[in-house]
Chain A
C-alpha cells in the first residue's frame, strides 16, 4: 500500500475533523464525554487553513486567538479547512499542548502534563501513559466526529449546522467591516 498517496487522497477526512472540532469547541464548551472520562479540547495560538481542491493557498494564523480572527472567518467561508492547529487538551488537572497535522495525524511540539512520580521507572511509565492518553482522547473525539460524518443525518442535520456556523461567523465579520467603513 502506498501510504503517502493514501494520505494525500484522504487528507480531507482529517481536515474536516479539525474544522468540525473547531465548530464544536466554539459552539459548545469544548468538553467531550469520553470512555476514559470527560476531556476538554481548545484551539490555541496557531491555525493553518487550506482548500483541499486548491492546495496552493494556505492561510497561517498565529499569535493571539486565530480562531476569533476575521481572516479565519473568511478562509472558512471560501471553503478552506483546518490543516494544522495548535491545541490544548485538558483532563482532570492535567494539560497537554500539541500541534496536530490533519492529513497524517502527526503530533508535533507535544508537551505532556507535569510528572508526579519521582522514581525513574515510574516517571518512564507515567510519561508513556501521557502520550498514549493524549492520542486516546483524540481518537475518541475523532470517533464522535465519524459517527456524525458517516451517519444518514450528516447532510440533513450535522453539515447544515457547520455551514450555518461558518455563515454566521462571516456575517458578523461583514457587519463589522461595514460598520467601520
Chain B
C-alpha cells in the first residue's frame, strides 16, 4: 500500500505516447529489470539510479499491492551518488607520485604514470566511499496519464526522464506553460495564435522616471519604440 505526503514540491509531466498498463505482467517485470542496484562495493560506478517501492528504500520486490491503487501507480526513484573529495585524491596522488619519482631516481614521474596513479586512487576511494541516498516519489495517474514527480531539481528530473524512458520505452513531457497550453482544449483560431505567440510588454515604458507618472503605453513588444 503506497503512501503519500500531504506537502512537498513537484514537477508535473504528461506521458509522451503510450506506456504499459500496470495490470500488464510486463509492467512489474520492467520495474524489476530497472530496479535500484547498489553501488556500495563498486569501485567503478559512482552513481546508481533505479526504482524501489515506497515501503522502504531497500525494497525492490515489486507487487501490484505495493505500487498500485487504482488509478494511481506510486513508485520511488532512488538515486545513490558516491563523491570522492577532489582534494583527498590530489593529496594521495602527490604523495604516491613523489614516492615513485624517488624510487626511480627521477625528479618527477611522467604524465601517463601520474594518470595511472590517479585512476587507481580514485577507484580505491570510490570503493571505500559511502553513497549519499536520495529517494523521490513518482505518482502516476494511469487514467489521465499525468505524473507528479516530487522533486524540482534539474538533476533529479533528468534522472527520472532517463529512467522512465529506459523502463517503459516512453518519454515524459514537462507541464511547462507553452506545452500545457497546447494540451488545453481551445478553438482552432486561438491554437493557431499560440504557435506564433511572442512576449508582450505589459507596461509600456522600459525605464520610467523615478518621480512622476511613467510613460506607459499598451503596446505589443514589436511595436514598442
Bound pair: A and B?
yes
Specify which chain A residues have a CB less than 8 angstroms from the CB of B201 in the assembled complex. 79
Cβ-defined contact, A78 with B207, below 8 A: yes
- For A154, give the chain B residue with the smallest CB separation: B200
Residues of B within 8 A of A (CB): 1-12, 69, 72, 74, 139, 141, 144, 146, 148, 152, 173-181, 184-186, 190, 193-194, 197-208, 211-214, 216-218, 220
Partner of A13 from the list B181, B202, B218 (CB cut-off 8 Å) is: B181
A111 near B6 with CB under 8 A, answer yes
Whether B180 and A105, one on each chain, are in contact in the complex, defined by CB atoms closer than 8 angstroms, is yes
Residue of A nearest to B6 (CB): A112
Give the chain A neighbours of B179 by CB distance below 8 A: 6
Stretch at the interface among A37-45, A58-66, A85-93, A161-169: A161-169
Digit string of A131-148 for contact with B (CB within 8 Å is 1, else 0)? 110010001001100110
Whole-angstrom distance between the alpha carbons of A157 and B180 in the complex? 25
Residues of A within 8 A of B5 (CB): 127
For residue B44, give the distance in angstroms from its CB to the closest CB of chain A: 29
Contact among B11, B177, B197 with A102 in the assembled complex (CB-CB below 8 Å): B177
Provide the bound-state CA to CA distance between A142 and B177, in Å: 9
Closest to B174 in A: A3
30 contacts between A and B (CB under 8 A): A7-B176, A53-B199, A77-B214, A78-B208, A79-B201, A79-B202, A79-B203, A102-B177, A103-B176, A105-B177, A107-B11, A112-B6, A120-B1, A124-B72, A127-B5, A128-B141, A130-B6, A131-B139, A132-B144, A135-B12, A143-B185, A146-B184, A149-B197, A151-B190, A155-B218, A159-B218, A162-B202, A163-B216, A163-B218, A178-B211
A174/B202 contact (C-beta < 8 A), A124-B1, A142-B180 known: no
Q: Are A115 and B176 in contact (CB under 8 A)?
A: no
Instruction: State how many angstroms separate the Cβ of A135 from the closest Cβ of chain B.
Output: 6
Give the number of residues in A that approach B within 8 Å (Cβ atoms): 65
Q: Considering the chains assembled together, what is the distance between the CA atoms of A43 and B141 in angstroms?
A: 29
Residue of B whose beta carbon sits closest to that of A80 = B203
Give residues 109-127 of A contacting B (CB, 8 Å). Answer: 109-112, 114-115, 120-121, 124-125, 127
Contact of A121 among B69, B173, B193 (CB under 8 A): B69
Which residue numbers of A lie inside 8 Å of B, CB to CB? Answer: 3, 6-7, 10-14, 16-17, 19-20, 52-53, 76-79, 81, 101-112, 114-115, 120-121, 124-125, 127-128, 130-132, 135, 139, 142-143, 146-147, 149-151, 154-155, 159-160, 162-164, 166-167, 170-171, 174, 177-178
13 extra interchain contacts, Cβ-Cβ under 8 A, other than A3-B173, A142-B177, A160-B218? Answer: A3-B174, A78-B208, A107-B9, A121-B1, A130-B6, A131-B148, A139-B180, A143-B186, A146-B184, A149-B197, A150-B186, A163-B204, A163-B216
B203 and A77 contact, CB distance less than 8 A: yes
Contact present for A108 and B199 (CB under 8 Å):
no
Bound complex: CA of A87 vs CA of B194, how far in Å? 26
Known A-B contacts A19-B202, A104-B176, A111-B7; the reply to A128 vs B184 at CB < 8 A is no
Select from chain B the residue with minimum beta-carbon distance to A10.
B178
Which residues does chain A contribute within 8 Å of B178, judged by CB atoms? 6, 10, 13
The complex places the Cα of A160 from the Cα of B203 at a distance, in Å, of: 9
Shortest CB distance A22–B (Å): 10
Other-chain residue from A79, A105, A115, A135 in contact with B6 (beta carbon distance below 8 A): A115
CA distance A70 to B10 in the complex (A): 32
Pairs of residues from A and B, 7 with the lowest C-beta to C-beta distance, nearest first: A108-B9, A12-B199, A10-B178, A14-B177, A160-B218, A163-B218, A150-B190
Question: Are A81 and B216 CB-contacts (below 8 A) given A7-B174, A110-B10?
Answer: no
